[in-house]
Structure 1
Amino acid sequence: MASLNVGSLGEYLREQRRSAQLSLRQLAEAAGVSNPYLSQIERGLRKPSAEVLQQVAKALRISAETLYVRAGILDAERDRDEVETRAVILADPTLNERQKQVLLQVYDSFRKENGHGETHGESTPDDTGDAGPQQTAG
């Protein structure tokens, strides 16, 4: 089940680049990668590293996690909806950066409240043996 979907990553990147109205050259420059290398990624010929994906995500102003999932670096099948929701929020051109961060914080708090654990940048324990303050001597 660990198949690599580099082709769909490339298609997704091309779609995001066009949506951001950037040329291949402009995105390559903004991400600090070569134009031919980015072209090969978009055509599914190369598998970029997590660092390159992070640079491209930053240049496109989208979630790096979304690119990690699409590249097969992050296995987030159970959290795909959460990752996609974050990507949509981060990609919304009508919100400024502060608004996006506040919205993500509210989203995280609702997810925690509903028992979906911690998200985005926080390490999550494996839910085994970490009962924390719930263990009380009665």
Structure 2
Amino acid sequence: MIENIFGEILRKHRKESKLSQEDLALNAEIDRSFLSEIERGIRKPTINTVFALCYALHIKPSDLIREVEEEYERKREATHELTDD
């Protein structure tokens, strides 16, 4: 679940920055197909990759991780509410 959330939030930031996958991958010095797999939750980025992507997007890694954490907690709470019914 975290991989998917991370990918969704990363994609949101990329699109807000009006960057293509190709442009972001080039700026972060990673392969475009790897970026695509991260955004789809298929691959897990290393901490080095997270930092490279964040710097390419001009955002703090801590802010990105905070967003992932908040979304994870929101989805986890929603799942618990469904199972409690």
Matched with 1:26 is 23
Gaps of 5+ in 1: 78-138
2:47 to 47, 50, 54: 50
SS of aligned partner of 1:56: helix
1:15 to 12, 21, 46: 12
SS of aligned partner of 2:44: coil
Higher helix share: 2
Distance 2:44 2:22 in 1: 19
Gaps of 5+ in 2: 74-85
2:59 to 62, 71, 89: 62
Distance 1:34 1:45 in 2: 14
TM-superposed deviation, 1:63:
1.1
SS of aligned partner of 1:13: helix
- 1:37 matched to 2:34: yes
Comparing 60-69 with 12-21, greater Cα deviation is found at 60-69
Structure 1 counterpart of 2:60, one-letter code:
S
Identical positions, percent: 35
Distance 2:17 2:25 in 1: 13
Q: TM-score, normalised by structure 1?
A: 0.47
Distance 1:52 1:13 in 2: 12
Moved over 2 A (4+): 66-70
